[in-house]
Structures are given as C-alpha cells and as structure tokens.
C-alpha cells in the first residue's frame, strides 16, 4: 500500500458503479437461464414485524431484483409470529420450485434469534449465508453463500485493484453477519487479519497498523483520521441514522486526507451488498436447476 502524498485526498471507491457492474453480469446470467429453461425461480424476502427500515431495505432489494429480471416476492409476518411458524414458512419456501433464493430480513423481533430459524432453510436457497452449513463452508474456505455485506466489502477491494494478499487487515466487528465473514474472506484472499471488537484494548493502535480497515461496528465516527495509517484503505460497512441522515462508522472528513482510498456511506458497501445478493440468487438458481 503506497503512502498518500500530503495534500491529496483518498480515492472514493464508488459502490454504485461497482454494483452496476455486478448487476449487469447478473442480468446476463438471468437472460441465459431464461433462454435455457424458460423461467427464473424468484427471490423471496421474509419480513417479520414492522421495523420501518426493514421495509425500505426489502423494497430496494426487490426493485433491484426486478431490474435484473429476477421475480421477487415479499412475505410479511406479524411481529408476534413464533419460531415454529417462521420455520414453517422457510421450509415451505425451501420446497417451492418457484422460489430460488430466500432472504430473512434482519432484525428479527425481540426474542427470536437467527440461529432459531436459519436451519429451516435449504442451504442452497440461503442467499445471505445465514445457514450454519454455509457458515461452516466459509470457515473452511470452501464455496458457499457468504453473508452479502461481508462479501461486498471484499468485492469492492478486488474490483478496485486493491492488493489484499500479504496486506495487514483489521476488521472492526465480529458479528456472524459482517465482521467474522469479512475477516474469513480477507484471510482467504491472503491478508493477515486482526479482528477487533468491543473488548479490544487499544482499537486505535490496532487500526494504525493496518493497510486495509473494514469497519462493521454500527458506531458513527468510530474510525477517524487520527487512527488511520497514511495510505490505508478504509471500507465502511456501517449504517447508522444520525439526525435523520444515514452515515457509516467512519468520520469521512478526517479520514479522507489520510487514507489512500475509502468507501463512503451512502453509496459504498450498501449498493454492492444488494448486487451481491442477486449474484447469490443466480448461483442458487443454477445449483437448483443442476440438481433437478
């Protein structure tokens, strides 16, 4: 990683442009499937409860799906739905030949964990990588559906020609959905990876040693210029609402003069996450057609 010359600003890694590239590739595959078999099994989003941002995210994914030629459907269940009912819906979608991929919109209502329901999904249709089968395959560096946000963070690095092999990478966040899978993907690409979290003693010292920083903490402004090594690349997975605006976990104003390249929120990891989900959907459909 080269040091950023003084007076320059970080290259902004354009998530919208990268998402468009991925979606074009997906649309080509979707057309090919339609030509070959005459139909494309759809994408089903299961949304439990009435979390307003979840409706916005689900609507966005369905619009993107439509754009690439994938039929989408939203199944809404009331917030008081119990685990057994959610599992039944996931089993039904798993057996439905018209459904190719399933997303369970997070967050689930209080008292229901992803772990209670994920195993009811056919792992092939689990396009956001929540099934323990997919998590295990990822841990073994084997092909699987990976959690899409984590994959999007790495996709941005790869498509922006940022060298990962041999780089020192710091991931902030150790959740099963973003931090941990991002760390495993970076490891798979040959980075030397440190995973930081709430109990990390000196976060700034860890970040200062990194060529690549991937932040997925859900804490606005957590990473600022004083922590970042000159010339580092900073990928911001955070989505936070502050005073009515969506912001990430990185303080752009102080990091931009120091970093070599960075993503911003909005317009960074988010759009690529949706595009990656659609790519997973196509992969699921291809796997289902191959086994039928």
Residues that bind ligand NAD (CB under 6 A): 149, 172-175, 177-179, 196-198, 200, 203, 216-219, 222, 237-240, 269-270, 273
Are 214 and 237 in contact by the 8 Å Cβ rule? The answer is yes
Backbone angles phi, psi at 163, to 5 degrees: -65, 130
In terms of CB distance, is 77 or 203 closer to ligand NAD? 203
CA atoms within 13 A on the CB side of 98: 4
Least separation in angstroms between CB 76 and ligand NAD: 20
In terms of CB distance, is 19 or 70 closer to ligand NAD? 19
In terms of CB distance, is 163 or 267 closer to ligand NAD? 267
Are 136 and 275 in contact by the 8 Å Cβ rule? The answer is no
Least separation in angstroms between CB 2 and ligand NAD: 27
Least separation in angstroms between CB 44 and ligand NAD: 19
Least separation in angstroms between CB 261 and ligand NAD: 18
Task: Find residue 236's DSSP bridge partners.
Answer: 215
In terms of CB distance, is 40 or 264 closer to ligand NAD? 264
Cis geometry, peptide bond prior to residue 266 (ω within 30 degrees of 0): yes
Instruction: Please identify the residue of the shown chain whose CB is closest to the bound ligand NAD.
Output: 175
Token digits for 118? 């994920």
Least separation in angstroms between CB 152 and ligand NAD: 7
| CA 124-129-131 angle, 5° bins | 75
Q: Which of 205, 262, 206 is nearest to 232 (CA)?
A: 262
In terms of CB distance, is 84 or 204 closer to ligand NAD? 204
Residue 226 is given by DSSP the state G
* Residue keyed to tokens 């997975």: 237
């Amino acid at each position: 990683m080269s040091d950023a010359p003084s007076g320059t600003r970080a290259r902004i890694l354009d998530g919208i442009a990268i998402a468009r590239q991925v979606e074009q590739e997906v649309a080509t595959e979707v057309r090919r499937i339609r030509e070959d078999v005459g139909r494309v099994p759809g994408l089903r989003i299961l949304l439990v409860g009435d979390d307003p941002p979840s409706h916005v995210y689900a609507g966005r994914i369905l619009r993107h799906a439509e754009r690439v030629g994938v039929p989408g459907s939203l199944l809404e269940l009331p917030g008081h739905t119990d685990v057994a009912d959610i599992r039944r819906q996931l089993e039904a979608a798993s057996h439905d030949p018209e459904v190719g991929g399933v997303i369970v919109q997070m967050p689930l209502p209080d008292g229901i964990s992803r772990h209670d329901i994920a195993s009811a999904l056919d792992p092939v249709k689990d396009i956001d990588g929540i099934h323990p089968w997919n998590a295990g395959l990822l841990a073994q560096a084997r092909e699987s559906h990976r959690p899409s946000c984590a994959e999007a963070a790495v996709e941005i690095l790869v498509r922006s020609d940022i060298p990962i092999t041999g780089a020192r990478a710091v991931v902030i966040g150790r959740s099963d959905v973003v931090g941990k899978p991002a760390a495993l993907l970076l490891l798979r690409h040959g980075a030397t990876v440190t995973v930081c979290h709430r109990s990390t003693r000196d976060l700034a010292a860890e970040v200062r040693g990194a060529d690549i920083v991937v932040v997925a903490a859900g804490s606005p402004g957590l990473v600022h210029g004083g922590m970042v090594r000159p010339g580092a690349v900073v990928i911001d997975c955070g989505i936070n609402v502050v005073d009515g605006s969506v912001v990430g976990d990185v303080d752009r104003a102080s990091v931009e003069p120091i970093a070599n390249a960075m993503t911003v929120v909005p317009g960074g990891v988010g759009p690529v996450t949706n595009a990656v989900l659609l790519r997973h959907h196509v992969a699921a459909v291809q796997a289902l057609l191959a086994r039928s």
